[in-house]
Chain A
């Protein structure tokens, strides 16, 4: 059992604390009285086979998986990839679950088995992704026969399985035609209420689910329709906090516990990032991987599994915070949200800092209404030509027109039907253009109750384009914030590369 998260109140004995800003690492001093939220201790993973076996043998709300398999069963394993743990998993628990389910299927003599990667609007998996996540064993067994496919949300092959409020709910054909669907996912964060719906539905349904004015009742009915139309056995692994090793071994540790090797690693990482051009830093730190402790594996009926997995996540990663702050401070580390880019694109950085990290709470936000958010990130307007082409155009053409999600409907319509973007998504492993829009909608929702968002070291033009502000230093950011929250604000800092869940009371 790892040490739970805690809140440290900065006093004169507190050392300088680690902050992340893109690929830059820094030890920063915080003012006396600042509350620092440390997530639960990152722990190394252990072999999850026992937890997986227990989840398959004693599921919630349904009979064991083995009893649902017969030789004539048309079985589909859906590997969910909507809510990606970042940094990526060193030992991907989904692979262990897939292998265990396939062993059961082989024992039951199931002939017709296929694997569908349910990534929703995220980039589709290429053969390298399949081998990296699912391992050589599964890849060599299924890939040569074309029995692993990455779900295409734009596919015209999708099958309607029901209707909600006059809207046809279409899902992946193989999934719809299966006798049994085993949905396999990993829970890191509060995440989607139903990752299965987000993973296998068509673009029209996802568009409606993620629109700025979508109502929860509609989403709930969509989830119910999918659960009732398909015969689903869900398996969800609940993860702990990321445990980094090698050159970033210090990142998840508490500063006063750093050993000599951690100190040297920190100094070396800083020196390399400061001395090397972006490409050099990219080759060293662009795709870090981390070990995640598997806290629990939950199996059974999907609705129960996703509720229980969220509860387990909360129990394992919740940190009790007393009182809402005037100012909340967070870093945005590129390795925690963008693959292949140590700095991270500005839109994803805004989403990571404001929606994901500040939004990781049990209902009461870290910061009071009208408070200020301060984030560390350079907001350099750089995007991957292939993977983030739609995000680059969104940044260059749409944000200068409007930042209001309500005024983006036409742009969204055009982007979703743009052949170039759709082709990049379908064939070149880029994100779907709708993902950029929905990422921005979540940013806009997250900042609605804030009076200001200030980026420390952020590009001034990008910050202005977002409708936010930029400051050269943390002290300058507090100076700007003092106009809104006064000269003695209460401050909460969200520490580390992980994701603390704030139980604010």
Chain B
């Protein structure tokens, strides 16, 4: 050591003892006058409407038929950072789709499916469903309602693909050894700002189709494949094949790839 340090400047080796500060602090805080000092600006409140992990919470498995299905929720991370309200654009797979979506979301995010514009104005999320799929397709056509509402209220649209909801009411009547599995997949939000109504509707259609049909691919792969849409849109298939695929066994837990956030 070449610097000469003060001999009395030594480390304090005593371990700090636990202290009880709560009572004195509370007393001091509650007896102190709370007056805005001269020159200090008045207060302004701004509550946050952005969603964090805490707001997403756990799955709601308290519903009546919740114990009867094996629910998988993929991509709820897509909702983090979003401002409420927003619009869920969901494929119509079966009669229980609305309940399935409710199960995948905490109470404050559950959407209304009636009085859409009024609900958005009140700050509540809403849901629009695609039409009934025809010709063996997996996803029906979306109308322009979601895009128009998003443009009118300046809110984001969250595409959602529900897989496994097809004829779920019939499946639940059967005596099965294993619960039927259902997957609710959230995609990246769509913003209307830079796109027209038709473009946004096409975007919703494409994203929901890929959420339903190409769930095992990564977001980047999906984004890239979307450019060559015609040849990768899921081909039409007979009903038995759709149910067959829906009931396919899941890969082992260790080898499962995480998809879409």
Contact = CB atoms under 8 A, between A and B. Distances in A.
A461 B11 contact: yes
Nearest to A470: B9
Interface string B43-85: 1101111101000000000000000000000010110111100
A67 to B, nearest CB: 14
Contacts of A463: 9
A6 B42 CA distance: 12
Interface stretch (A37-45, A161-169, A334-342, A386-394): A37-45
Contacts of A140: 218-219, 257-261
A460 B9 contact: yes
B260 A96 contact: no
B20 A271 contact: yes
Nearest to A469: B9
Nearest to A243: B48
B115 interface: no
A142 B220 CA distance: 8
B170 interface: no
Interface in A442-475: 459-461, 463-465, 470
Contacts, number: 174
A268 B52 contact: no
A106 B224 contact: yes
A254 interface: yes
A194 to B, nearest CB: 28
A130 to B, nearest CB: 13
Contact of A256 (B21, B37, B80, B191): B37
A322 interface: no
Q: Max chain A CB contacts within 10 Å: which of B40, B259, B260?
A: B40
B191 to A, nearest CB: 5
B29 A6 contact: no
A409 interface: no
A47 B221 contact: no
A270 B193 CA distance: 47
Given A135-B261, A137-B188, A381-B11, A256 B35 contact: yes
B10 A256 contact: no
Interface string A93-135: 0011001001100110101010000000000000000000001
A57 B37 CA distance: 45
A429 interface: no
A271 B41 CA distance: 31
B28 interface: yes
A139 to B, nearest CB: 8
B146 to A, nearest CB: 17
A50 B194 CA distance: 9
A237 to B, nearest CB: 13
A266 interface: yes
A204 interface: no
Contacts of A99: 188
A11 B191 contact: no
Given A15-B32, A256-B37, A267-B29, A91 B224 contact: no
A196 B21 CA distance: 47
Interface in A41-91: 41, 43-47, 49-50, 53, 57, 90-91
Contacts of B231: none
B40 A254 contact: yes
B1 interface: yes
B118 interface: no
A106 B226 contact: yes
A271 B22 contact: yes
Contact of A461 (B10, B49, B83, B188): B10
B36 interface: yes
B223 interface: yes
B22 A8 contact: no
A137 B258 CA distance: 9
Given A401-B3, A464-B6, A464-B9, A266 B224 contact: no
A124 B220 CA distance: 24
A135 B261 CA distance: 7
A274 B220 contact: no
A99 B48 CA distance: 22
Contact of A401 (B1, B10, B26, B37): B1
A3 B11 contact: no
Contacts of B156: 47, 49
Given A3-B44, A267-B25, A465-B5, A109 B37 contact: no
B108 interface: no
A297 to B, nearest CB: 14
A109 B261 contact: no
Contacts of A266: 25, 29
A402 B28 CA distance: 45
B238 interface: no
A99 B40 CA distance: 40
A23 B25 CA distance: 17
Contacts of B121: none
A296 interface: no
B3 to A, nearest CB: 6
Interface of B: 1-3, 5-6, 8-12, 18-22, 25-26, 28-30, 32-41, 43-44, 46-50, 52, 75, 77-78, 80-83, 156, 188, 191, 193-194, 218-221, 223-224, 226-227, 257-261
Given A53-B191, A102-B220, A465-B5, 16 more contacts: A3-B41, A3-B44, A11-B37, A13-B38, A15-B37, A47-B81, A53-B193, A99-B188, A137-B260, A140-B257, A141-B221, A267-B22, A268-B22, A271-B22, A381-B11, A459-B11
26 contacts: A2-B44, A2-B46, A3-B41, A6-B40, A6-B41, A11-B37, A15-B33, A45-B50, A47-B50, A47-B82, A90-B52, A106-B224, A137-B188, A137-B260, A138-B219, A141-B219, A144-B218, A256-B36, A256-B37, A257-B36, A263-B30, A266-B29, A270-B22, A275-B18, A460-B10, A470-B9
